[in-house]
Structure formats: C-alpha cells, structure tokens
Structure 1
Amino acid sequence: MSLPGFSALINAWWFLLLVPLIIFYFLKLQRPRMEIPSLALWRQVITDQRVNSPFQKFKRNLLLLLQVLLLCALILGAMQPYLSRGTEQAQYLPVLIDNSASMAALDGPGGKSRLDEAKEKVSQLIDDLLADQRLCLISINSTARKLTDFTDNKRLLKEALSRLEVSQVPSRLEDGLRLAQAMSRVQQIDTVVLISDGNVPQEIDFELPFKLNFQKLTSGGANVGIVDFNARRSRTGWDVFARIEGTLKAEGSSGGPPTAKTMCEYELLQNGNSIKQESVSIEGGKAERLVFKVSTTIATSLELRIKPDSFDSLPADNVAYLELPAPRPLTVYCPRQMETYRNALANIPDVNLYPGTENEPKTVDLKFAEGPISLGPQSSVVMNVGFVPEDLSSLVELVAGESEIIDWRRTSPLLQHVQLLDIQIADDPKLAKGVAERDFELAGYEILAQSRSGPLILERDLSGRLDYQLLFHTDRSSLVYRVGFPILVQNLTQIAAQRAHLLDAKAQATGVLPIQKITPDTEVQISGPNGQRETATSDSNGLLSGVGAQSVGGYEITGSGDPIKIGVSLISSSETGLRVAETLTFPEVSISAATTALKTDQPLWHWFAVAGLVLLLVEWWYFQKRPFGAPG
C-alpha cells in the first residue's frame, strides 16, 4: 500500500495556529470575586482548582478537541494530500488526443465514439490534477494543434476538451510528437500521454526524447466504406472505378460477427441525378470493385453513395465525390524557332499548338522555351531548352565542348523508354568550384541526367508548376535524330495532360483542397460542408493553395470568374479499415499499448474538506443546541 503524499507541503506552517488555540483555552477560565458567609465549601474550591488545571481541562474539554480536529482537517486539505498510484508525478504533462476520422467510429449500435471515450479518459486526468501539475491538451489529425497551454485551470481544460471534434482526415502522429518536443525545450517534459484508437502509422521516423504512455482505446465496430474512386478517359467518355472495402470487426468490439457478409446498396449520381443503383455483397476483410461507364461532353460531378444493411461504425466513408473535367485538346505553346519540337508535336493527336492561326491564350497546359520562362503564356508544365536559369548560374555554366550522357533516371516519367546512351552533345556543363549534387537539391532541383562534368537535365516542382531544364540544346546534339526524341516529347505531353486532368481523374481526399489557377492577387470565398466559410487570396501567379478541407462534402470557391466546385471524400483505406497498431515502432525503441488504464495520483483534499465540514456541524449541533442538557 502506497503512503499518501502532499503536493503543497509548505502549508504545514498553518499547524502553528494550534498553539494560540490551546493557549486561549488555558486562559479561558476567569473566577469572579464573591463574599461568602462560610468556609465550609473550601474543599469544593480546592477540587474546582484541580479540575480546572491546564492538563485536566485539556483532557476533558470536548469543544477544544473538536476545534483542534477541525483546524487539522482544514490544514491537511490545504496541503493537497494525494494517494500515489506508483507512477512518477509529472509536473508538465502534454496529452496528445487523436481526433482523426477513425475516432468517430462507434463501438456498436447506439454506442459512443472513440473520441467520446478519449474525452472521458482526459476528463479523469483533469479531475485528478494536483496543485503543482500542469496539463497541455494537443489534438492530432493531419496536423497537430495546441488546444491549451500548460495550465492547472480545470474549467479551461474541460472547455477546450468539450470543443474538440473529429476531423475527417488521416492521422499524423509524428506532428504531435514534434510539437511536444518543441515544448520540451521550454518546460521539463519527462512523459507524454497519447490517447488514440491505435489507427496511426505503426512505424514512425522520430527519436523520442521523452517517455511515451500509449493509451489505446477499445476498437470500433465493423465498418464498410469507399476507399477508392477514380476515372480514366475513354473514346466515348469516362471509365469510372470504385472500390468498397468491408473491414473485420476488431476483437473486443461489438457491431456484427467478425467475418460477416454485408449487403450494401450503392447509388451513382451524375450532376445530382441517379444513373445507377444496385446492391453488392461485401465480405469482412475484403473489397469489391465497381465499374461504371459515363458518357459526357461537358464537365461532370459524380457522387457515389453506399448504404450497408447492417451496423456501420463510420458514416464518413459512405460517400465519395469525383469531378470530371470537360474533354478538350491539350494546349501547347512552342515558339516558331523551335522547329524540331513543333514537328514532333504536330504528330501527336488532340494537341492545340500555339502560336498558330488563332490568338494564343494567357495560360496553356505545356510550354516550351529557350530562355526566361516568364516570357509567353503561363503554364503548369514548362520545358526550357539550352538555357541555364538565373538561380543555377552560380552553380553551373555551359561551355563549348563535347559531352555525353553517362547516367540518367530511367524511372522518371519524362525519360521512360528514352534511350540516351551514346548521345553526342556539343555543350559541356562545368560546375563551379566546390559545387556538388547536394547544392542542386538545396536549390530545389532533381538531376535526371548528367555527364561526366555536370548535370544536363533537371526537374523542379515549385508552387504547382513543374519545370524541366535541358541545360544543353537538343539542336546541338544527336538526340533529335534518335527515336527517343519524339518519345521524349510524347512523354512530356502525357505529363502535362495528367496534370491538367485530361486523361484521368481521382477523388480529392480530405486535408487540403487542390491548387487552383485563378486571377492573380484575388481574394475569394470558400464555402464548405456544415456551413464552413473562409476567405483566401491567390498569389501573384494566380495560384490558390493551402485551403483546408477537414470535412467530407462539397466545397465552392467564388469571387474569381465562374464558381469552382470541388467534392472532397475521405478515401483512406487505413481510416476505413480501422486498423489498430498495438505497438509503435520508433528508430531506437518500440512502445506497446498500455495494458492497464492510465494511473494517476488520487487527490484526497476533498475528503479532509468534508471531514472539516462534519466536525463543524457536530460542534454547532452539540454545543449550541446543547442536547440532553449538555453543560455549557
């Protein structure tokens, strides 16, 4: 049995009040002077003196005893006593609360969610908070956010906890741990508590600087959800594919047998109108693939809904959205002097080549250049040939001389099926003194092909724009005479078509809305599900990025031309699967889920407060009411 401790031992100085209390009772008796007719009662006087001697009075005075006990009870309560549960007392304790999508899973029909169970555990921690302890609540979903600073204010902690809701996004535990690590540089943090359903990445690339107490919640019930929704362009429209997964019931949870087959009714809507409605049988732990044909010549919004005929623990994954763009040719800008590229592009179908007979647009899908890319229309994919950009001029320069490609990244989408062996090049890259490959990586470039003396082909993905830099000019090489040259150009058009979503489309997952190209430096309004509203501003290039989308549903962007509608879906196999990690693996240690409930020191001050109140009532009742003729 553990001995009680005190978290405010300094208040023991109040025990000194016992001294004046006892002295007061010693000096309380004052005999009046009286004239008497006889000394016959002298013996009674002597007896009275003996009875009222200090020690005899202290021994027999019940009022003194009650008030001493009352004072002791109040002082002991002020000393904040607690009963130790065998754990180290942490003065600063961060509590990481998982509120990702899977935390909305119910444990059974009419049951409670995983987040509700987590709130109960955290609420108990708050109730057991000692006087010298401080809690900090941190929520974890696709990112980490502090709900409170370190505080012992129980009302503030419980208000922040009550406002916490599920975010319909996957969990990134590493962000929460890094936030706790940053806080440990200011406060002494020895232990961090993680409260989660275990649906987090099992392997985490993070070195723990503190102890991690992993409190795993009970698992949710069986679930059925949409885990994939995409489309590929066909000659007549779109081939649409969906995958519905049925998960096994976790051990210890309710909500159906472990491997039950669930009849699931699904419905596909096109622009709000139902075009197909059928049923499919989903077996626990397996998935079913659905295929649809959608014919359209305009932009189309698809919505897939499912309705299981039995208990389903997570409703958020029962709907998915897919935006299909209107079919159109790929728009390409290629200067007239780049004849070899224009000739290769002329043989590729569904390509509108500029400049041509029509006025060139302000934006295109693919752009070729032989100099600064700021010239000509804007594009999300750029191929710059025979030019060293300004940000690389301090790292490399081209000089006259022969070079050849000795190595290239064959897995790069640009260089797939392109044979670059024995290509003769009349430009030779020369690295500046002390420059290495790492310097190009720091500048944001990835080297795709290089010669013996330096890089020749580089790639950079910057702010939604994909840049390819051919430092040599293909017209001064033998590449244009090889079969690999038209393949290179074909690969580039495929990359541009994919980034423009002309060949395929994929359901947008929750987290962040995709980057949108709108009017530069324009403030727009974004409305989302559940009445969500916010404003955002595009950058100088007209790119709108970083707009959060934490909930499943439809989003609309207004304020720059025609409204832009985007459907956002959960589309996460890990969240739908309610997969549970019993052990978290870090680089140097593995943390298993705690097998017992979180132990905290039990405060006892309220028992002493109750005892003091009882003693006070007894004193009042016994000595003020004087039952049974109790002497005064």
Structure 2
Amino acid sequence: MSLTSPAALFWFLLAIPIVIFYLLKIRLRRVPVSTTMFWNQIYEEKKPRSIWQQLRHLLSLLLQLLFLALLAFALTDPLFFWETDQKRRLVVLLDRSASMQANDSEDGSRFDAAKDDIHNMIRTLRSRDDMALIAVGATSEVVTGLTGHHRTLHQAVDNIEATDQPTVFREALTLANSLIEGHPNGEIVLLTDGGFDEFSEVSTAKHVSTQLYGKPDTANIGITQFQIRRNLTDPVGYEVLVEVINQSAQPAETRLEMELEGEIVDVIPLKLEPAQSWSKVLEYTSPTGGVLSATINSEDALASDNEAVAILSELEPQKVILVSAGNRYLEKVFSAIPLVELEVVTQQPETVPENGVLVFHRQTPEALPAGNVLVIEPEGSTDLWTIGEKASSPLIASQDKESKLMAHVRLDNVMLSEARQIEPKMEVTRLATSVEEIPIYFSHETDARKVVVLNASLDEGDLPLRTAFPILISNALNWFSGADAAFQESLATGAVRKIDVAELTEHGNKKLTANSEESKEADSNSETDPQSERVQTEVTPIMLAGPHESKTELIAQNDTLWLGPLNQVGLWTLSPVDEENKPVAETSKSSSPAPQIQIACNLSNRRESDLRTPELSDSTKQLQQAGFSFSPFWFYLVLFATLFSCVEWYLYQRRWID
C-alpha cells in the first residue's frame, strides 16, 4: 500500500491532547454553603481518582482515538498496489451519424441505446479509472477529456446530440490511440452500428472493443441523390437528378412526390427490387425559382433520408437591345426566347441597362461599349478586330465542343454562304473556325465587357433554318447573364464548400484585420521601403441559421466563406449581421428585404441509408461491461469513523461510559 498524501499522518498528533484531556485532574472550586451534609455524600460518591483509576473507563477514549486514526488515515488517501496495477483508461468513441438515429432499438433509437450504455459504464468506473468521450461524425469532437468524475461524465453524455452526418472513424481512432498510448490497461470502446466502410478494419484494431446497435435485417428506402439545375437550352426549364434506393432484402413499393414552393410538380410510383436503385434525370419548366422538395412516403426506421431539398435559381427578365436596319427572322428568334425583353433600334443607344445585352447586326461602332455585346454579321472594323474581304462558302473545320457557348450545337454540317476575313487585335477564344482559319464564331471576355461575334451571313445559307441557330443565340444570352453560375448545388451532410458571399458582405459589418505573418513581413519592409503597405484582410461576420432554429456566427474573409460540415438535413440560411451581431433581416427598417443565401443540405449517402448491421468477425473483441463500482479506500475509512463516532455517542447517552 502507498499513501497519496503522507503528510496527512501529522494529524495523528491530535491524539496527544485527547489523552491529556482524559488524564487532566479536575480542580474543585471553593464555594461557601449553609451545610455540608449533602456535599459530603456527593464527595464520597465522586472522590478524586488516581491516574490509573481515571483510565478505568478506557472505552470512550479508545473510540475517540480510533475515530481520529480513521480520519487521519483517510486524509492520506491510501492506495493499494492492485488499484494502481488494475486501473483502467477508457476512451469511448460514440457514433452519432445519421444511421444511429434509426428507431429499430427497444430503447428507442440506436443513439439513445448507446448513450444509456455509456451511463452504465460510468457507474461501473472504479476510483482510479479514467474515461474520455469522443463523438464521431464527419469530424471527431472530444466531448470530455480523461476524467474519473462521474457527474462530469454523465453531463457530457447528456449533452451529446445526434447528427445527420456520415461516419469517419479513422481520425477518431488515431486520437483515441494517442490518449491510451503507454497505458497498460488502456481500452478503446467503439459504440456504433457499423455503418461505415472501414468498420472491419477499425473494429479489429488493437485495444478496441465493439458494441453494435441495430438489427441485421432492418429495411430502409432512402433518397440518396437530389440535385437541380436550369436547363442550358431552355431558360425556363430545369432538370432534376434524383436517386432512390431500396436497402433491404425484400421488394418494396413507395411513391416519390416533388413540390416546388408547396405546389405539386410530380408524383412518381416506384417498385424497387431488393438492393435496387432508381435514378433518373427529370425535366420540368418553371420561370420562377424557389425550394424544390422531394419526399417518399415510406414509414421506415430512418426519417432523415425520406426527404430532400434543392434550390432552384429564380430567373430575371433579360433586356436585349437589337441595333439593326431590320431583320424579321432575327427579331423572331430573340422574341421566342423566354424572359427576353426585346427592343429594336436603328442606332446605338447612349445607355444600356445593367446586365442587358446590346446586339449589333451588321453595323458596328469603332469602339465596342462595355457590358454584354453580341455582334452578328459584322461589316466594319472595331477596337477588337480588323475586317477584311469576303470569303464565299466557308466550311467549318473545327469547333470548341467543351465551351458552354457551343452546348448542343454542331456547325460542321451547316452550309454558310459567306463570311468576312477577320484579324483579331486582342486575345479571343475561337469557338468555330473555317478551313481557311477564318474565325466564324469567337468570344472575348474582360472585367469590363463580354463580347460574342458570329461572323456569318444570315441572308443566304441554311444556318437560320437550322435548330442550331436559336440554340446558339440562347447559349450566348445564358453566358451573358451568368445562368450557369446560378446553379446552387445541394450539399451533402458532412461536406465542406467554398461560397461567395459578396452580396451579403455589402450589407454586413465589415472590418479590416492585418494578416499576422504577412503583416510582420510588411512591417519589416516598411522600415526600408516607406511605400510598402500592411497586408490586410476584410472580414465580415455572417449568421448561419439551421433547420431547427440553431444559429452560429461565421467569419467571411474577402467575400469568401468556407461552409461546413453541416450536421442536419434541411434548409440553412446565411445572412449578414449588424454592429450588434444581430441578423440584418431582423433589425433592418428598410422596405427592401435584406439579402440572404439559402443552402440545401441532404443526407445523400448510400452507406448511411443502409441500416443493416454487419456481422462481427471472430477477431472482433466485443464489449464486456464491468459488474461493480468500487469507491476509494478513504471513503470506507470515513464511513467507519462516522460509525464509531455514533457508537461512542450512543454509549455515552446510555451512561455505559463516563
């Protein structure tokens, strides 16, 4: 046995004054009385006793000395050798992924059953045992470090919440191994349903004990993919990629319902064979945007993959000003494109609406204006090119099939009547080139303007009669408007994305901060170069609101925000905050609504939708619960001291001792 605090042995010195008080002879006071008859009688009964006579009633003294000895020994915190050799260090890895929320356990969800088991493990911890809790999802979070304090551990377990994230255990296992490294009785306890790819590797690792939750035959139907984008050829159309999978050993029937802002878009009945997935790209039309939701009416154990959401970008009318002497066919093409507001003029206007498109047919100015410019059949030179002689019947030799301007377009089988020799003065992107190296279709882009040029006659030839021509014009308008950039990807839980939040930072509380490393370098340079400036970063607080009204403040740097990993499925909202760190949408008195960015988040994980628990291999060590919990030895010493104190009090009250 060893003593944790041997200095506490000095408390045994209190035995000296206790014994002295018992040996101390009582002095009688002299008091005059009227008679001594009664006092003589008392004196005969209570004669002064010798030292050995005073020790006649040793029971009271021994009990008090024993009480002191037990308390003093308890203060030394004695430690048996077997307690040192057998003390445990447990690191509990709790799986809090989406599949752990499946309600196929007798105690509710798998996650709740796992938390109950941790509470039981805490109750069986011995006095020298330590435990650490790590919650595992897409990332690993140390909920509490190594401690043996039961109350702290119980509170930490109660505060752990389940997420809709996938499971990544490699990082957690590395962290757990570092906590038990060098400990003779270190153990890693894995509480999971086995719903991750590296389960067999993690469960059979050294020092790992595994407890599985769930059933091997739990059936589930889930939406594993849901994305939406605008149709590149039809501005008001959109395409939906959806995938539904049957993760069970039995055939299943369900119904997929899709709604756009509460309006039913489609209802699709599904019949799925065991382990069959149904995937399809569906096409619909809608000039308005909003939230598109998909739901399957399947009453299974997991609810988080029965719904999915996506954001459909809202389209705005596009102003097109056609500068032409008159071309009915060209006017009809622009008028037929949805959301195009066409205006035909004979001369170049002085101003062009923001995000509008200025179209020149044949006539071109010497200097092309800033903004979006489409030139069809140019006849004069500009600051971008020099016009040359006419070339008859040019044949298309090559075209850029990867360009979005050439999406769904083939020009190699089109008969062109004539084109112009053009020599670009600046760098351009050749989209279609003739055999004679004449640029038939090309683009030019700078920060100030975007230019697309179609160098072909529309009066003769069959280009205006081909479906490629309206598609070509529609692609150009989409390129000008940035329709391809309006695609908002639905994030998967646990994913991290870089998001441009420039529209939010304009209304937020911006601050300038100096970059620590770069600012030091700038400060050192300023001593030798007075014109050098400190490198500064523009930071803006952004409020992130979750599906269940949870709010978190994030920091955007230079109009860029790294978002994720998100832990719940549903709609998340980014909004700017004011100087008091409150969302501008709540405090703004302006009639115009404050800008917001909505983020759709779905489970989108086949592995998490598969609720069937794997079988444990023979090399997997299963968790063995301890039976009893032992309090430290000093606790029992105090308990016995209290017991002896009660015995001494009882004997004194009963007059068995003086």
- Structure 1 244/24 Cα, relative in aligned 2: closer, same or farther at 3 Å? same
Query: Is the 1:73–1:612 Cα contact (8 Å) retained in structure 2?
Result: yes
Shift of 1:100: 1.9
Q: Which one of the candidate residues 539, 545, 551 is aligned to 2:568?
A: 551
Matched, 1:195 2:190: yes
Q: Is residue 576 of structure 1 aligned with residue 609 of structure 2?
A: yes
Cα deviations by residue, 1:565-618 (Å, 9 ceiling, x for unpaired): 22211122222213545669xxxxx97242422688633544544443333333
Residues 352-431 of structure 1 mapped to structure 2, 5 A cutoff: 376-377=446-447
1:515 aligned to 2:498? yes
Alignment check: 8 A CA contact 1:77 1:608 kept: no
Q: Give the length in aligned residue pairs.
A: 451
Q: Deviations over 1:18-43 (max 9, x none)?
A: 68649955983568899xxxxxxxxx
Q: SS state of the match for residue 190, structure 2?
A: strand
SS in 2 for 1:613: helix
**Aligned residue in 2 for 1:79:** 77
Aligned counterparts of 1:313 and 1:593: Cα–Cα separation in 2: 28
2:630 maps to 1:602: yes
* Normalised TM-score (structure 2): 0.53
Q: For residues 389-410 of structure 1, what are the alpha-carbon distances to aligned partners after superposition, in whole Å with 9 as ceiling and x for unaligned?
A: xxxxxxxxxxxxxxxxxxxxxx
Output aligned runs, 1:426-465, within 5 Å.
Answer: none
Aligned to 2:656: 630
C-alpha contact (below 8 Å) 2:224/2:244 kept by paired residues: yes
**Cα distance per residue 1:174-208 (max 9 Å; x no partner):** 122333456679x9797352332143545389999
Aligned-residue offset at 1:228 = 2.9
Alpha-carbon distance in 1 for matches of 2:100, 2:286? 41
Matched, 1:303 2:293: yes
Q: Aligned-pair distance for 1:172?
A: 1.1
C-alpha distance in 2 between matches for 1:150 and 1:367: 64
Distance 1:262 1:351, change over 3 A: closer
Q: What corresponds to 1:317 in structure 2?
A: 305
Q: Which has the larger radius of gyration?
A: 2
The letter for the 1-side match of 2:190 is I
Q: Distance in 2 between matches of 1:99 and 1:108?
A: 15
8 A contact 1:192–1:212 mirrored in 2: yes
Equivalent in the alignment of 1:256: none
Structure 1 counterpart of 2:389: none
What letter matches 1:596 in structure 2?
Q
**Correspondence for 1:289 among 278, 281, 285:** 278
Q: Give the aligned residue type for 1:571.
A: S
Q: Which amino acid aligns with 1:376?
A: T
Distance across 2 between alignment mates of 1:201 and 1:609: 50
Contact 2:98/2:166 (<8 A) preserved:
yes
After superposition, the Cα gap between the structure-2 partners of 1:557 and 1:224, relative to the gap in structure 1 and judged at 3 Å, is same
Q: Do residues 592 (structure 1) and 620 (structure 2) align?
A: yes
**Counterpart among 143, 155, 158 of residue 159 in structure 1:** 155
1:566 aligns with 2:599: yes
1:270 is aligned to 260
**1-side partners of 2:53 and 2:448: how far apart?**
105
1:615 aligns with 644
1:10 aligns with 2:4: yes
Quote the Cα distance in structure 1 between the aligned partners of 2:397 and 2:595: 38
Distance of 1:554 and 1:269 partners within structure 2: 15
Map Cα deviations across residues 473-492 of structure 1 (whole Å, 9 max, x no partner). Answer: xxxxxxxxxxxxxxxxxxxx
Q: Which residue of 2 aligns with 1:101?
A: 98
**Taking every aligned residue pair, what percent have the same amino acid on both sides?**
19
**1:66-145 alignment to 2 at 5 Å?**
68=66, 71-72=69-70, 75-76=73-74, 79=77, 88-90=86-88, 93-108=90-105, 111-127=107-123, 134-145=130-141
Instruction: Give a deviation string over 1:137-165, Cα, whole Å, max 9, x none.
Output: 32221112222344455544443332221
Equivalent position of 1:384 in the other structure: none
Cα drift, residue 68 of structure 1: 1.7
Q: Report the Cα distance in structure 2 between the residues aligned to 1:271 and 1:131, rounded to whole angstroms.
A: 58
Shift of 1:133: 5.3
1: distance between equivalents of 2:220 and 2:202? 34
Residues 204-251 of structure 1: CA distance to partner in whole angstroms, max 9, x if unpaired? 89999x953333243266544322334686988456454444545xxx
SS at match of 2:100: helix
Give the 3-state SS of the residue equivalent to 1:196 in structure 2. strand
Q: 1:546 to 1:64 in 2, by over 3 A?
A: same
d(CA) in 1 for partners of 2:136 and 2:385?
54
Partner residue in 1 for 2:361: none
Q: What residue is the counterpart of 2:546 in the other structure?
A: 528
Gap change, CA 1:343 and 1:120, over 3 Å in 2: closer
* Aligned residue identity for 1:531: E
User: Is 1:214–1:593's contact at 8 Å kept on the other side of the alignment?
Assistant: yes
Q: Which residue of 1 aligns with 2:168?
A: 172
Confirm or deny: 8 A CA contact 1:80 1:603 kept in the other structure: no
3-state DSSP class of the match of 2:604? coil
Q: Give 1:169 shift.
A: 0.3
Q: SS at 2:189's partner residue?
A: strand
- Which amino acid in structure 1 is aligned with residue 174 of structure 2? R
Structure 2 vs 1, CA of residues 535 and 63 (structure 1 numbering), >3 Å: closer, same or farther? Answer: closer
Change (3 A) 1:336 1:172: farther
For 1:348, give the aligned amino acid. Answer: M
Following TM superposition, by how much is the alpha carbon of 1:505 offset from its aligned partner in structure 2, in angstroms? 8.7
Q: Which amino acid aligns with 1:194?
A: V
Q: Secondary structure in 2 aligned to 1:142?
A: coil
CA displacement at 1:551 relative to structure 2: 1.0
**Residues 149-158 or 229-238, more deviating:** 229-238
Q: 1:510: how far off?
A: 1.0
Deviation at 1:509, TM superposition (A): 0.9
**Structure 1 residue 126: deviation in Å?**
4.4
Q: Contact conserved, 1:332 with 1:351, CA < 8 A, in 2?
A: no
Is the contact made by 2:226 and 2:490 (CA closer than 8 Å) also made in structure 1?
yes
Unaligned ranges ≥5, structure 1: 35-47, 249-258, 353-364, 369-374, 380-492, 585-589
Contact 2:400 2:431 in 1 (8 A): no
Give the counterpart letter for 2:656 in structure 1: A
Question: Could you tell me the TM-score, scaled by structure 1's length?
Answer: 0.55
1:265-317 per-position Cα deviation (integer Å, ceiling 9, x unaligned): 5432122223345765677x6345375844214445321123434xx333222
Offset at 1:323?
A: 3.3
- Pair 1:17–1:300, CA change in 2 (3 A): closer
Q: How does 1:336-347 map to 2 (within 5 A)?
A: none
Q: Is the 8 A contact 1:94 1:136 kept in 2?
A: yes
Displacement of 1:558 in angstroms is: 3.8
1:99 deviates by 2.0
Q: Give the residue type in structure 2 aligned to 1:510.
A: T
Give matches, 1:473-552, under 5 Å.
507-512=490-495, 514-519=497-502, 523=540, 524-536=542-554, 538-540=556-558, 543-552=560-569
Is there any run of 5+ residues in structure 2 with no aligned partner, and where?
A: 29-48, 316-336, 339-371, 375-383, 387-395, 411-428, 433-444, 450-475, 507-539, 577-592
Cα distance, 1:563 vs. partner? Answer: 3.5
Question: Quick check: 2:545–2:573 contact (8 Å CA) kept in 1?
Answer: yes
State how far apart, in whole Å, the 2-side matches of 1:132 and 1:85 are: 7
CA contact (8 A) 1:15 1:72 kept: no
Q: Does the residue aligned with 1:531 lie in a helix, a strand or coil?
A: coil
Q: Is the 8 A contact 1:301 1:323 kept in 2?
A: yes
Which letter does structure 2 place at the counterpart of 1:10? T
Quote the Cα distance in structure 1 between the aligned partners of 2:192 and 2:430. Answer: 46
> Following the alignment from structure 2 to structure 1, what is the Cα–Cα distance between the partners of residues 612 and 123?
31
Instruction: Provide the C-alpha distance between the structure 2 equivalents of 1:579 and 1:78, rounded to a whole number of angstroms.
Output: 53
Does the residue aligned with 2:502 lie in a helix, a strand or coil?
A: coil
